[in-house]
Amino acid sequence: MGNKGSKGAKSLRPPIKSDSRGFKFGNLANSGRDAGKSAPAAPSYPSNGPPPAPGQAPPQQQQQQQPQQTEEESDLEDDDSGPIEQVAIEDMDGPARPQTKVNVEDFDLLKVLGKGSFGKVMMVRKKDTKMIYAMKTLRKAALVKRNQLLHTKTERSILQSIKHPYLTSLTYAFQTPDKLYLVMDYCGGGELFFWLKKDRRFSQQKARLFAAEIILALQELHKHDIIYRDLKPENILLDLEGHIRLTDFGLSKEAVTGAGATGGTKTFCGTPEYLAPEILENKGHGKAVDWWSLGTLIYEMLTGLPPFYDQNMQRMYDKILNAPLRFPSFMSAEAKDLLTGLLTRKVSDRLGSGPTDAEEIKSHPFFKGIDWEAVLRKEVQPEFKP
């Protein structure tokens, strides 16, 4: 999980990954939930808003009449319960800025943003600079038990190595005998999921700019032969200007050179509503799975639900593989054409699967008038600020 503060907008869609044992896991936000036999219920609408802005302390807690520790106070304590497995993890120690050595004592722990099976994410303030960050704390014992060290190292590698306006970046990384710490950008606008459920659906203009920023983020990952594999509103954070940041790279895969099975991978992973057909069919997959997920996301932004959503997971999988793509009457012709191209089941025919990758999508009439260089420089202002 990233620095997600929209507490009322909890995801109903657990990401899943399976190996030969059928084991399922999610990111930090959702790792305690099993996808189970049935798909999640239809999305509910949140009651709480995004977290405090960077630089602002959260509201002070009222003093308790009783000396018992509150749940929030307990959450903010940096300790573990249960047996501790002490492991030194190569490539996980040291800050992302090597000239600066830090540890957990260098930060004030302000607010818990999310909790999961592997640890939690907290809003923190660095004591010397007063800068606000999101600190992901992961328990090594849980990571080792569920065989997640490799995915954590992959996330750290991506966060540290790729700097891009629309990707979450890593500022510090360090470890203790029992924990890993990743200190990242704090995005004060919360999840896109929160705002989508609040508005029910976005205007085409609003969805188009979000999509443009997401395309640039995915394009940057693809340039480094990385597929994201977990695009969904819960993994898209907003800054206070309304621009996006992709977060949660635990399901990402490095060294993927092709759009499809050639130069790809066969791991079954992702979020049920957003799974591409080639993942469900275990044919092998590559960069084009991200463009299928982009189509699913744009459809959800424009209509309020993913295109093949069903409360029964097996029926939903069958719809992803076989059902015709249907559009509401209010959707524009350009949007329908874009989504038809992105949600094409044959990988080689899918928009974005060609040698130019994202350029095919960027040149589609849906994005007519978009100045892509201006979007990259964040010169195109979003419709609203969180």
For the ranges 151-165, 261-275, 365-379, which has the lowest average pLDDT?
261-275
Residue 52 placed within a domain? no
Q: pLDDT at residue 222 above 80?
A: yes
Taking the C-alpha atoms of residue 71 and residue 74, their distance in angstroms, rounded to an integer, is 5
Judge if 295 and 243 occupy the same domain.
yes
pLDDT tens readout for residues 230-284: 999 999 999 999 999 998 887 888 777 766 555 556 677 778 899 999 999 988 8
Domain final residue pick, 185, 200, 234: 185
Q: pLDDT at residue 55 above 50?
A: no
The pair of structure tokens assigned to 260 is: 């499809």
Judge if 180 and 210 occupy the same domain.
no
| Closest C-alpha among 153, 136, 172, 290 to residue 221 | 290
Range 138-144 average pLDDT: 86
Judge if 298 and 170 occupy the same domain.
no
Residues 6+ apart with CB under 8 A from 4: 29, 113, 114, 121, 190, 191, 234, 237, 247
Judge if 263 and 313 occupy the same domain.
yes
Judge if 236 and 172 occupy the same domain.
no
The reported pTM is: 0.75
Domain final residue pick, 139, 157, 185: 185
Residue 357 placed within a domain? yes
Residue 257 sits in a domain whose CATH number is 1.10.510.10
Tell how strand 119-126 and strand 132-139 pair up.
antiparallel
Residue 83 placed within a domain? yes
Give the per-residue pLDDT at 264.
Answer: 53
Per DSSP, the three-state class of 132 is strand
Q: pLDDT at residue 56 above 70?
A: no
Judge if 175 and 199 occupy the same domain.
no
pLDDT tens readout for residues 289-327: 999 999 999 999 999 999 999 999 999 999 999 999 999
Q: Above pLDDT 70, what percent of the chain?
A: 72
Judge if 272 and 318 occupy the same domain.
yes
- The domain in which residue 355 lies consists of 192-376
Bridge partners (DSSP) of residue 119 are 138
Burial of 276 (0-12, 13-18, 19+ CB in 10 A): buried
Judge if 118 and 267 occupy the same domain.
no
Q: Which of 230, 239, 248, 310 is catalytic?
A: 230
- Residue with more model confidence, 356 or 2: 356
For the chain, how many structural domains are there in total? 2
Residue 335 placed within a domain? yes
Active-site residue 357, yes or no? no
| Contact between residue 263 and residue 288 where contact means Cβ atoms under 8 Å apart | no
Residue 121 placed within a domain? yes
| Closest C-alpha among 298, 277, 279, 287 to residue 253 | 287
Residue 2 placed within a domain? no
Residue 92 sits in a domain whose CATH number is 3.30.200.20
Q: Is 136 annotated as a binding residue?
A: yes
Burial of 45 (0-12, 13-18, 19+ CB in 10 A): exposed
| Contact between residue 352 and residue 359 where contact means Cβ atoms under 8 Å apart | no
